[in-house]
Structure 1
């Protein structure tokens, strides 16, 4: 694979996975614990910790994700619509994983990657 596309693809895939996992934990674990439990239990406190700390971490890491996705879009010469959908999918739990798969498949297909290149990206 060309280094012009390999590095942005790896950066994008890494950030998409990290941001996606944090968003799933934040939305599906932290928020229910914080807002569904109102008796001041340790679980509610854990939910408050998750939403406060992981929420901030997700916000900062999402900015890095946006940069990585935009960098990949420029190197792969995506049209604006595909780029915008890819960037916005990082805001929806679980959908970010589909978008990462979709973008990776497109890059591999358009850049005619062989099996060794595809395994490393």
Structure 2
């Protein structure tokens, strides 16, 4: 379990994506965030094409341009993962490290949404 001081320095989801993508540039990264697996940037474009899911763009703090984004429900992983692998993709499934800020944002969404 990560210590509180360590979690305060954890980057947001896009920062985590960028760091992992540098280490594993040939892998498509699927980030579990709540009830969804999310893909960003070029991974979102590839996933949208292979899986026939919607690709959109989303703004993130600190990013000048909207970031390409795609997602699917976590319970569809058993359907979508084999499709990605059969298409030749190397896939890494990632659990996002949750910072206190992200946890608070998620709780706020649940209360208002």
TM over 0.5, yes or no?
no
Please report the TM-score for the alignment, with normalisation by the length of structure 2.
0.31
Q: RCO (CA 8 Å, sep 6+): is it higher in 1 or 2? A: 1
Structure with the higher fraction of residues in strand conformation: 2
